[in-house]
Amino acid sequence: MKLKELSQRGGVPIPTIKYYLREGLLPKGDPLGETKADYGDHHLDRLRIIRSLVEIGEVPIAVIRQILAAVDDETVPATVLLATALSALGAGPSSDAAPAGDRTGAESLIAGQGWQVSPGSTAPDQLAAALGALRLVGLPADAAQLAPYTRAALEMAGHQLPLLPDPARREEFAARAVIGAVLYDRLLLALLRLAKENISMRRDGH
Amino acid sequence: MKLKELSQRGGVPIPTIKYYLREGLLPKGDPLGETKADYGDHHLDRLRIIRSLVEIGEVPIAVIRQILAAVDDETVPATVLLATALSALGAGPSSDAAPAGDRTGAESLIAGQGWQVSPGSTAPDQLAAALGALRLVGLPADAAQLAPYTRAALEMAGHQLPLLPDPARREEFAARAVIGAVLYDRLLLALLRLAKENISMRRDGH
């Protein structure tokens, strides 16, 4: 199909598609003369995936580029692809002024759970940063205090992972993992806020 | 104390303090002549709170301003102060292209739990946005599927709220609520990623 048809069927304006092509998110089409190119169903699938990551997941373009690079590298096994996609999402901002992470605490918590960590994962760094900051402000963060959190994390992970498609469909697998993570994270944080408000309202006798 | 001493004891550079004064985060000192002012312990307490929100919580200045305005308005009861502080934190970015929220789904989930929502809370909007997006991408979001999330949210809220100081100490109460929310949220999301990686690694036979 031509660019115009790709744009119509994918629901993405032509200038945006050209931007994705320049940024390497979308592979180039087969050249048809000097200025035109032919696009296949694979382009349409990928365009739809980029669109849902941008519009629903609100994932930054630079992050999508990292995820798609891992998708396209067939030497990356599915487990590492999952970890890479989730690592690319990251843990939000971290300034230079951020306190030092508690590496030892993170490692001992992970070892205590007997959890396997994927090569290249940044999740232990995120955990170390959160633990270091909690310690700094004097909020409890020892293994016993964190038991409800690890339990909840395992239960929710066990709920989310079976929703993923066959890892052989790498593109869809990674995209669903990212969108699922973004949306269920948001859902969880909204519920957590509501639960706090509820407890606080009841305590005040409402 | 003079500005220089406030800076030294609070661990915040003078230009930064002047910025906080201009932005209304820190109340003005008692004037000492034309260009100098006297600052009390209250200024020091507030400066330390702003600093920990900025450096550890990585909370944007505009959000801190909203939270401190609610702290300073004594007509705002503690429950609403808590909800306002957590609402100011928000649920991350939301673009114009974001799908329509599922208001009905959010209301029915909250009613089904019998949860009380604070006046002025934006948490139901966050929940509606997450539910609408999940539905759009075909991820399950009915009450039965969400049971593990609501259970986890209640358990973690019950763990976090007792860590808060007396609500009569409004400034410290709001600051601890915000920092606790930011840090335990980060911790939870890091653990959730690690739990997913662990399940995925084990499935692959590592």
- For A93-109, write each residue's pLDDT tens digit: 555 556 678 999 999 99
CA-based nearest residue in chain B for residue A114:
B198
Phi, psi of A38 (to 5 degrees): -105, 130
- Which amino acid is residue B174, in one-letter code? A
Q: How far apart are CA A127 and CA A141, in angstroms?
A: 11
Average pLDDT, chain A: 90
**pLDDT at site B142:** 87
Please give the structure tokens belonging to residue A194: 């509501």
**pLDDT at site A35:** 84
Q: How many CB atoms lie within 10 A of CB A5?
A: 11
Answer yes or no: do B195 and A150 touch at CB < 8 A: yes
Q: How far apart are CA A122 and CA B174, in angstroms?
A: 31
- For B30-65, write each residue's pLDDT tens digit: 998 888 899 999 999 999 999 999 988 888 998 899
**pLDDT at site A58:** 86
Place of tokens 């990686």: B197
- Radius of gyration, CA atoms only, chain B: 21
**pLDDT at site B57:** 87
How would you classify the pairing of strands B36-38 and B30-32?
A: antiparallel
Parts of chain B with a pLDDT under 70: 91-99, 206
Is 70 exceeded by the pLDDT of residue A183?
yes
Residue A37 β-bridge partners = A31
Q: How far apart are CA B153 and CA A193, in angstroms?
A: 8
CB of A142 within 8 Å of a chain B CB? The answer is no
- Radius of gyration, CA atoms only, chain A: 21
Cβ atoms A53, A59 nearer than 8 A: yes
Percent of chain A at pLDDT > 90 equals: 69
Instruction: Kindly provide the ipTM of the predicted complex, given to two decimals.
Output: 0.88
Place of tokens 């000192």: B29
Most A CBs within 10 Å, among B118, B192, B199, to test the A interface: B192
- H or E stretch at A31: strand A30-32
